[in-house]
């Protein structure tokens, strides 16, 4: 495994693979890796010959008062986890991704980018798309892997790629969960033991609400029950619980049939968590 920090080093590390016509797989991360990230890397090998993992905490997707400075930076531990899994780890500095002598085009997430996570974190998805596009330009992958836990992010990345990166394949990887059902997240490390137990309510609520809808309860009534479940937990503040059409990310309500994506976000003990569950209605 090679660890590189600059665009020039990345190009040199990939030169042989490009010359041989090998497929390049890419897993963009912000580090603080866990089993969920590693599952993305393993999946990337199914679609490519050489796998690049980036580790970069992107300042453009953190708003005022968010946890940019607090976000864990654990490069040595991350590289140890990636040894034997990734072929290249790309860990650039901010000035390598956004050099002073290069005007990096800012991306706009559009209307969907202002909903749900975008409403809670204004500008987040613009910054996310900007760095993803920049990393795509640097790595030039054939396939990129994103986790399905960040469903709105995945939706927006797919839309951008369809419009701007013909030939690039985007793969969504299934959510990896703790034995309790809690979706793995780098932010879970900020939860104490009691808060981790409380946070299980997100997955429990998704399972309960989807089952109620599957059994014939009206969507709005089922969502109301889910909201009450989460509101009843200590140290927990619900941001949203919604059912959306995964093809448009628009809210759907009573009478809807087809694919449904149930999404939730809540703050538990000061830690913002998201989760989702897709099912047929």
3 state SS for 87-138: CEEECCCHHHHCCCCCCCCCCCCCHHHHCCHHHHCCCHHHHHHHHHHHHHHH
Are 166 and 270 in a shared domain?
no
Instruction: Tell me, yes or no, whether 244 lies in a domain.
Output: yes
The domain boundary, picked from 173, 194, 224, lies at 173
Are 121 and 253 in a shared domain?
no
Are 134 and 269 in a shared domain?
no
Strands 259-268 and 271-280: antiparallel
Instruction: Tell me, yes or no, whether 179 lies in a domain.
Output: no
Are 167 and 196 in a shared domain?
no
Instruction: Tell me, yes or no, whether 47 lies in a domain.
Output: yes
- The residues with which 183 forms a beta bridge, in sequence order, are 177
Are 205 and 238 in a shared domain?
yes
Q: What is the extent of the structural domain holding 152? A: 2-173
For residue 63, the model assigns a pLDDT of 75
Q: Decide if 63 contacts 124 (C-beta within 8 A).
A: yes
CATH number of the CATH domain containing 250: 3.30.1300.10
Q: Decide if 246 contacts 261 (C-beta within 8 A).
A: yes
Q: How many domains does the chain have?
A: 2
Are 108 and 145 in a shared domain?
yes
Instruction: Tell me, yes or no, whether 237 lies in a domain.
Output: yes
Q: What are phi and psi of 215, to 5 degrees?
A: -80, 0
The domain boundary, picked from 108, 138, 173, lies at 173
For residue 118, the model assigns a pLDDT of 96
Are 168 and 58 in a shared domain?
yes
User: Taking the mean position of all CA atoms in its chain, how far away is CA 93?
Assistant: 21
Are 85 and 217 in a shared domain?
no
Instruction: Tell me, yes or no, whether 240 lies in a domain.
Output: yes
Are 133 and 198 in a shared domain?
no
Sheet holding 143-147, edge to edge: 2-4, 88-90, 50-55, 24-29, 143-147, 169-173
Are 131 and 201 in a shared domain?
no
The domain boundary, picked from 128, 147, 173, lies at 173
- Averages of pLDDT over runs of 10 residues in the chain (281 residues) are 97 96 97 95 98 92 72 90 97 94 93 96 94 97 98 98 97 96 94 97 98 97 98 96 98 96 97 97 94
CATH number of the CATH domain containing 139: 3.40.50.620
Catalytic site residue from 34, 37, 45, 277: 37
Torsional sign, CA 37, 39, 42, 43: negative
Instruction: Tell me, yes or no, whether 178 lies in a domain.
Output: no
CA angle 221, 226, 230 (to 5 degrees): 150
Are 207 and 269 in a shared domain?
yes
Side-chain-facing half-sphere of 190: CA atoms under 13 Å: 15
Residue 34 annotated in active site: no
Are 28 and 112 in a shared domain?
yes
Instruction: Tell me, yes or no, whether 166 lies in a domain.
Output: yes
Instruction: Tell me, yes or no, whether 22 lies in a domain.
Output: yes
DSSP calls for 149-217: TSHHHHHHHHHHHHHH-TT-EEEEEPPPB-TTSPBP-GGGGGS-HHHHHHHTHHHHHHHHHHHHHHTT-
């Amino acid at each position: 495994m090679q660890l590189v920090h600059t665009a020039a080093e990345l190009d040199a590390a990939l030169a042989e693979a490009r010359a041989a016509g090998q497929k390049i797989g890419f897993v963009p991360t912000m580090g603080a890796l866990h089993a969920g990230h590693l599952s993305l890397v393993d999946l990337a090998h199914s679609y490519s010959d050489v796998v690049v993992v980036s580790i970069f905490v992107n300042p453009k997707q953190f708003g005022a008062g968010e946890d940019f400075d607090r976000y864990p930076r654990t490069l040595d531990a991350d590289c140890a986890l990636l040894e034997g899994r990734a072929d290249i780890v790309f860990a650039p500095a901010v000035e390598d991704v956004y050099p002073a002598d290069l005007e990096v085009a800012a991306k706009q997430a559009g209307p969907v980018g202002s909903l749900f996570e975008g409403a809670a974190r204004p500008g987040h998805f613009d910054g996310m798309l900007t760095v993803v596009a920049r990393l795509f330009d640097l790595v030039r992958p054939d396939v990129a892997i994103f986790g399905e836990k960040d469903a709105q992010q995945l939706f927006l990345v797919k839309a951008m790629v369809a419009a701007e990166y013909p030939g690039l394949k985007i793969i969504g990887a299934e959510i990896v969960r703790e034995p309790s059902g809690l979706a793995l997240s780098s932010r879970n490390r900020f939860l104490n033991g009691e808060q981790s137990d409380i946070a299980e309510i997100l997955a429990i609520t998704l399972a309960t609400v989807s089952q109620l809808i599957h059994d014939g309860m009206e969507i709005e009534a089922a969502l109301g029950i889910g909201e009450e479940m989460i509101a009843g937990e200590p140290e927990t503040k619900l941001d949203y619980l919604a059912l959306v059409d995964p093809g448009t990310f628009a809210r759907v309500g009573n009478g809807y049939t087809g694919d449904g994506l149930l999404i939730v976000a809540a703050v538990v003990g000061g830690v913002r968590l998201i989760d989702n569950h897709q099912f047929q209605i």
